[in-house]
């Protein structure tokens, strides 16, 4: 069956249920930056791998690339250290964590200053248990010292992992560190791996409520690895939990489906677009993890897609809604913040096709099935978000939105912008409609 | 562990056990061409998909692309029709198969002639049972008529599928069609899907002996789909059966791991190189299945890599040997035909790294572990087969061959060419050594 049986399509009205986030004022939009784990993991042999071991040079190189290669301008602004940055033991006198003396000879504060001079902030990694996942010192009851250390160093975010700790104590240990952070002068965004360690990734609402009260974002699924299978599993998982996640996701508190693989070896170009499309409509943290010194232009273009980033950074920060699914196809929509009080909202529509055989698929849905009845407008401008300089077409609420979607994990993403009544398109939108006659 | 424990590495001496192939004189080197299934499957709705349905235009377009875009020059010479080309019923009088009258208005013979004018041959598809897999007419006891029809049409190869047939009768039905082919004037290469339908892909030697006596090549595993997972499964399967397959694989009779995905949506660039590398060292049929009208240059370059194709088409046609494996790494070697009787052979070495996390891996093995002791020469020129214009280096049999291998399904492939004693490299190999000083 090529065309969808749209009669079984479900429209889920966007319900905003306010659930309070930790009110540290940070991350009112999802964080954007770079995190070393996926690509560089825990390689500490700098003799054999001088350009890709975990050391000061690596993070400085990434700060440079972010500052100089256009990433900063589109919103990526934090370079995040992951595991394996420390000495194997705390300072015996002060009990402070110490950066590896060979690999970070000038310490983390120096790295933070290097970043600040380039308008790039630095994030750091620690673990809520006795050891980090790779065996370096964990918090181990040093919340106060560590929060103070991080604050003094000036890091802007902390990823708190959950290895070597009792999961049933997370509801004390993670909040304890949040309280320690609150005592510091410097405000630090707090990423909690807490729900990622809960069995079967099945986290009840009351636990997510506590997580949201304590954390700015939270990993809640298996570590991503550099393969399409891994991305697909995350998409299916986020689809299966969509109703729950929508309730908790929003400014100040974000579900984190893990790093962007884009620019590494595991995804094809279409699959890379698909990951960026999903992370954007989910308003998920955009954490790159490619070697930005060697990335090729087609992947850089995806990561720097301003249209997608503006969807991701939409001020309402809604998690998109899964409105239709089969084994091969999913349709998601995201309501964007209205341009002004009382104005109708634009919607983003994503068609996703995961079947790994055959030709690209023409998928079509009636616009009236994509946008809730209470909100639908008579006409929309349709923008392809990977080629948004021109309007694809004008579509009425009675028409079908038909898009050709690449197979094997491809997707298409468009924005539907309401045409205001009495608006004369060809006078008011001259720029965007330059090429409209070509269609 | 980054470096291999080479002490457990096994050298398998190349044993050539002659097993007779069907002696129709065809396919003394593996077939090279294009097959429609992976990309175009059984789309027969030409109104909705005018450029990608199974019809005359599709195959003519591919003949044109092969003839005009450089594929023919490097060895791709057959455009193979797959399922869904027929009318739903045989001709009621002649009992001949009939091409779909709407989609192939001038019939198959016309298509064959179109190909011949461009030096491209045409292959066709049929099924040994009562119906093809998609439900079109199967052989169903029409061996003689069908072999005669195909011969009259002038097709140069036939892919014989195994749906809707009794598997325990394959050892009669497949040979029966071979006998029918032998009676025809026009010689037709015979591809048998026979072993692909045998439970668990576990085929005893005596069955492969019969298959080899009857068929020119044979699919023996699940259909490939457009994903890295699928390629990886095939690589692991071919590794697990390597000793058996080497016994039967060779001129006139080839194991067929199925189509090349390269140029579609499912593989990254490095994974695409890996598929081409493996299919080349296996001397496997090289059947493209991308839309050659829309393929991008980087994938076309992989498909047209002359060095890899010459490895694939090596006149001895050996299946490569898996000489080392872990969960993350495999090392394969392939002995090439000697340039002259008594001369030492060149070897191709493939390092494969399938771990989906972290940085590219430096893999190193001592040359003495890669080439059998009886054959090893003092020195080798090393050529990177994806950049073979220059010699990478000269390496002695005592040295390590160290290559940096991309993660997530990446691989590196080099050719080791013996340096003949008393050979003055810098005089006799001036062309290939132009840039040697740069290393």
Pair type for strands A410-418 and A347-353: antiparallel
Structure tokens at A30: 């999802």
Catalytic position from the list B161, B256, B291, B314? B161
What is the pLDDT, as a whole number, of residue A192? Answer: 98
Give me the phi and psi of A72, to 5 degrees please.
Answer: -60, -40
**To the nearest whole angstrom, how far is the Cα of A182 from the nearest Cα of chain B?**
34
Structure tokens at A42: 């825990």
Rounded CA separation B89/B75 (Å): 36
pLDDT band for position A358 (cuts 50, 70, 90): confident
Q: What is the DSSP string of A11-27?
A: ---------PPP-SS--
CA distances from B250 to B16, B78, B246, B283 (A): 10, 20, 8, 8
Strands (E), A373-437: 379-384, 393-396, 400-405, 410-418
Q: Which H or E run includes B123? A: strand B121-127
CB contact under 8 A, A264 and B358: no
What is the pLDDT, as a whole number, of residue A199? Answer: 86
Vertex A199 angle, CA A20 and A133, to 5°? 90
**To the nearest whole angstrom, how far is the Cα of A356 from the nearest Cα of chain B?**
5
Tell which of A298, A408, A409 to mutate to test the B interface (max B CBs under 10 Å): A408
Nearest-CA neighbor of B285 among B262, B258, B310? B258
CA A171 to chain centre: 24
Nearest-CA neighbor of A262 among A229, A225, A235, A302? A302
- The residue-averaged pLDDT of A310-333 equals 97
pLDDT band for position A6 (cuts 50, 70, 90): very low
Rounded CA separation B326/B245 (Å): 20
Q: Is A340 on the interface with B (CB under 8 A)?
A: no
Give this complex's ipTM. 0.90
What is the pLDDT, as a whole number, of residue B362? Answer: 95
Give the residue numbers of A marked as catalytic: 161, 223
Rounded CA separation B390/B432 (Å): 5
Maximum CA pair distance of chain A?
A: 73
Q: Chain A, 268-307: which have a CB under 8 Å from a chain B CB?
A: 268-271
Structure tokens at A22: 């930790």
Q: What is the DSSP string of A198-227?
A: SGGG---HHHHHHHHHH-SEEE-SPPP-SS
- The residue-averaged pLDDT of A143-157 equals 98
Cβ–Cβ < 8 Å for A382, A388: no
Candidate from A43, A271, A359 with C-beta closest to B40: A359
pLDDT band for position A424 (cuts 50, 70, 90): low
Rounded CA separation A413/A386 (Å): 8
Rounded CA separation B68/B57 (Å): 16
**To the nearest whole angstrom, how far is the Cα of B414 from the nearest Cα of chain A?**
20
What is the pLDDT, as a whole number, of residue B358? Answer: 86
In order of their start, the domains of chain B are 32-313 (3.20.20.70), 321-418 (2.60.40.1180)
CB contact under 8 A, B407 and A38: no
Rg of chain A, C-alpha, whole Å: 22
B188 burial (CB, 10 Å; 0-12 / 13-18 / 19+) is buried
Rounded CA separation B371/B332 (Å): 11
Residues in chain A within 8 Å Cβ distance of B38: 357-358
Cβ–Cβ < 8 Å for A120, A78: yes
Whether the pLDDT of residue A156 is over 90: the answer is: yes
Maximum CA pair distance of chain B?
A: 73
What is the pLDDT, as a whole number, of residue B199? Answer: 86
Cβ–Cβ < 8 Å for A30, A255: no
Residues in chain B within 8 Å Cβ distance of A266: 228, 268, 271, 356, 408-409
Nearest-CA neighbor of B268 among A384, A235, A408? A408
Rounded CA separation B190/B161 (Å): 11
Helical axes B228-240 vs A228-240, angle rounded to 10°? 130
Candidate from A40, A268, A407 with C-beta closest to B358: A40
Q: In chain B, what is the straight-line distance between the N-terminal and C-terminal CA atoms, in Å?
A: 28
What is the pLDDT, as a whole number, of residue B17? Answer: 53
Cβ–Cβ < 8 Å for B401, B364: yes
Rounded CA separation B346/B399 (Å): 17
Residues in chain A within 8 Å Cβ distance of B266: 228, 268, 271, 356, 408-409
What is the pLDDT, as a whole number, of residue B428? Answer: 41
Size of interface A-B (CB pairs under 8 A): 103
pLDDT tens track for A227-268: 999 999 999 999 999 999 999 999 999 999 999 999 999 999
Q: Is A408 on the interface with B (CB under 8 A)?
A: yes
Rg of chain B, C-alpha, whole Å: 22
Strands (E), B175-219: 189-192, 217-219
pLDDT band for position A390 (cuts 50, 70, 90): confident
What is the pLDDT, as a whole number, of residue A31? Answer: 98
What is the pLDDT, as a whole number, of residue A425? Answer: 52
Nearest-CA neighbor of A150 among A93, A85, A63? A85
Other C-beta atoms lying within 10 Å of the C-beta of residue B337: 13
Tell which of A227, A267, A291, A299 to mutate to test the B interface (max B CBs under 10 Å): A227
Pair type for strands A189-192 and B157-161: unpaired
Cβ–Cβ < 8 Å for B83, B38: no
Rounded CA separation B72/B85 (Å): 24
HSE-CB at B103 with a 13 A cutoff on CA atoms is: 24
The stretches in chain B having pLDDT less than 70 are 1-19, 422-439
Pair type for strands A361-366 and A400-405: antiparallel
Instruction: Return the DSSP state at A131.
Output: B
Whether the pLDDT of residue A65 is over 50: the answer is: yes
With H, G, I as helix, E, B as strand and everything else as coil, classify residue A265.
Answer: coil
């Amino acid at each position: 069956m090529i065309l969808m049986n749209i009669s079984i399509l479900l429209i889920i009205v966007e319900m905003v249920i306010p659930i309070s986030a930790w009110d540290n004022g940070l991350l009112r939009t999802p964080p954007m930056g770079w995190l070393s784990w996926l690509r560089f993991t825990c390689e500490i042999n700098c003799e054999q791998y001088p350009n890709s071991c975990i050391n000061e040079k690596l993070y400085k190189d990434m700060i440079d690339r972010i500052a100089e290669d256009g990433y900063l301008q589109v919103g990526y602004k934090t370079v995040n250290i992951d595991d394996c940055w420390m000495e194997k033991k705390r300072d015996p006198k002060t009990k402070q964590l110490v950066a590896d003396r060979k690999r970070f000879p000038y310490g983390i504060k120096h790295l933070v200053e290097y970043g600040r001079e380039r308008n790039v902030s630095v994030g750091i990694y620690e673990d809520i248990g006795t050891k980090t996942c790779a065996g370096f010192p964990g918090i181990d009851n040093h919340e106060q010292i560590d929060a103070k250390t991080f604050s003094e160093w000036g890091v802007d975010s902390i990823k708190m992992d959950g290895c070597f700790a009792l999961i049933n104590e997370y509801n004390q240990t993670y909040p304890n560190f949040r309280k320690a952070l609150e005592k510091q002068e410097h405000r630090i965004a707090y990423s909690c791996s807490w729900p990622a360690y809960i069995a079967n990734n099945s986290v009840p609402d009351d636990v997510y409520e506590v997580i949201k009260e304590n954390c700015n974002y939270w990993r809640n699924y298996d570590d991503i690895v550099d393969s399409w299978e891994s991305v697909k599993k995350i998409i299916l998982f986020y689809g299966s939990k969509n109703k729950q996640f929508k309730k908790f996701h929003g400014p100040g508190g974000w579900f984190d489906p893990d790093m962007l693989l884009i620019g590494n070896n595991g995804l094809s170009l279409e699959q890379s677009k698909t990951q960026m499309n999903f992370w954007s409509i989910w308003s998920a943290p955009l954490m790159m993890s490619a070697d930005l010194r060697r990335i090729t232009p087609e992947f850089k273009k995806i990561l720097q897609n301003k249209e997608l980033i503006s969807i991701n950074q939409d001020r309402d920060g809604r998690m998109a809604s899964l409105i239709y699914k089969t084994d091969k196809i999913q349709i998601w929509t995201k309501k964007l913040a209205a341009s002004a009080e009382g104005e109708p909202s634009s919607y983003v529509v994503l068609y996703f096709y995961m079947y790994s055989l055959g030709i690209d698929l023409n998928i079509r849905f009636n616009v009236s099935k994509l946008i809730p009845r209470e909100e639908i407008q008579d006409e929309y401008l349709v923008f392809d978000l990977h080629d948004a300089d021109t309007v694809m077409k004008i579509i009425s609420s009675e028409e079908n939105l038909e898009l050709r979607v690449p197979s094997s994990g491809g997707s298409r993403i468009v924005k539907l912008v309401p045409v205001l009544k009495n608006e004369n398109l060809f006078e008011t939108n001259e720029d965007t409609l330059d090429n409209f006659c070509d269609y």
